[in-house]
Amino acid sequence: MKEILRLKHWQVFSIIAIGYIISYVLPMINFKIGGITSIELAAIATIITLILLFSYTLTIGLFLNNIKNNTYHFKNWILIIAILCCILGYSDLSLLRLKLDDEFIPFWIGFISTPLTFCGVCYAYYSVAKSLKSIELDREAKFSECIIDAITLFALPIGVWFIQPRLNRILTVVE
């Protein structure tokens, strides 16, 4: 887990940005490799990018929650469920965006995953941001103090440029 947090901001940005670029460029190119079309390959790249994106947030949250000096702790299992809901909801949206011809996604999956995704995003990003800010302030952060960090975390991959250097500083202090 700490290896991911030791990465520089440009390394994390590159990994996530390449996934986004591939998932948006592939549908524009029409090719077929064996039985896989470019749109199906884009769907796979999109879901892998989403898993990387939300795993990064989960890694940050679990690391910050395990720091003893942290004044704000949340339940790890709730964060994991929230991240899984985010992955499910955003994967559903991405698959709908690609309009796969052979695949049918039932309406009820989107109907159920939308509120779960919203609640998951709110909990995950607010909890991780509040934990980050609480460590930096050495007291439990207020809502107004950590909302900008939550928005910055949500604005990945751009937010990596602001969050990762702060995580590197916390990591050096903890070690």
How do the domains of the chain map onto residue ranges? 2-174
Name every residue whose Cβ is closer than 8 Å to that of residue 107 and which is 6 or more positions away in sequence.
none
**CB-based contact 44:97 (threshold 8 Å):** no
% of the chain residues with pLDDT over 70: 94
Q: Could you tell me which of 155, 146, 157 has the C-alpha nearest to residue 64?
A: 146
Query: Model confidence over 19-30: pLDDT tens digits?
Result: 888 888 887 888
Above 60 in pLDDT, residue 101? Answer: no
pLDDT at 120: 92
pLDDT at 34: 81
pLDDT band at 127 (very low <50, low <70, confident <90, very high): very high
Query: Model confidence over 26-85: pLDDT tens digits?
Result: 878 888 888 777 878 888 888 888 898 888 889 989 998 888 888 888 889 999 999 999
Above 90 in pLDDT, residue 89? Answer: no
Buried b (16+ CB within 10 A) or exposed e, 19-53: bbebbeebbeeeeeeeeebbbbbbbebbbebbeeb
Q: Could you tell me which of 169, 74, 48, 90 has the C-alpha nearest to residue 129?
A: 74
